[in-house]
Amino acid sequence: MGQGPTLGLGIALARPEKRVVVLNGDGCLLMNLGCLVTIAEQAPKNLILFNMDNGHYEITGGQPIAGSGKTSFFGLAESAGWPVVVEIDEQDLRSQLEMILSSLGPVFVNVKLETAAGGSPDLTIPMPERIQALTAHLSSD
């Protein structure tokens, strides 16, 4: 946990001809805030980091993250020196996706999400099924 952005950085630096997209949670980003400065310093043009910002640790049961409602991930990325910083809500993600994916990076996208009804995911559903449902949701019209 907490290493997705830096793993993405390593891949982006090793494979500059490939576009690298990292999907990250806000709780995960809190575990490694230093990655924002490191990625900005290295400035890989092929890296996009999506931060899913719902104020909760979804995977472990929906507990609020530290600073929930007070911390601006947009502001943190901007002050760390990211050249492209975007904040959108879930409804605007689809309409902004082409612009985001065509931008030269590093690109930080803070996606403001609502917490799921009930406050946490149904952890009784196996992970492969949750991934399949998310993929279907993101690719639906």
What is the arithmetic mean of pLDDT over 91-102?
A: 89
The span from the CA of 72 to the CA of 77, in Å, is 9
Annotate 35-64 with b (16+ C-beta within 10 A) or e (fewer): bbeebbeeebebbbbbbbbbbbbbeeebee
With a cut of 60, say whether residue 119 has pLDDT above it.
no
Q: Between these two residues, 1 and 121, which has the higher pLDDT value?
A: 1
pLDDT value of residue 122: 62
CATH number of the domain bearing residue 57: 3.40.50.970
Q: Between these two residues, 68 and 31, which has the higher pLDDT value?
A: 31
- Mean pLDDT of all residues belonging to the chain: 86
State how many domains the chain has. Answer: 1
Confidence bin at 79 (pLDDT 50/70/90): very high
pTM equals 0.80
Where in the sequence is the domain holding 33, given as residue range(s)? Answer: 4-139
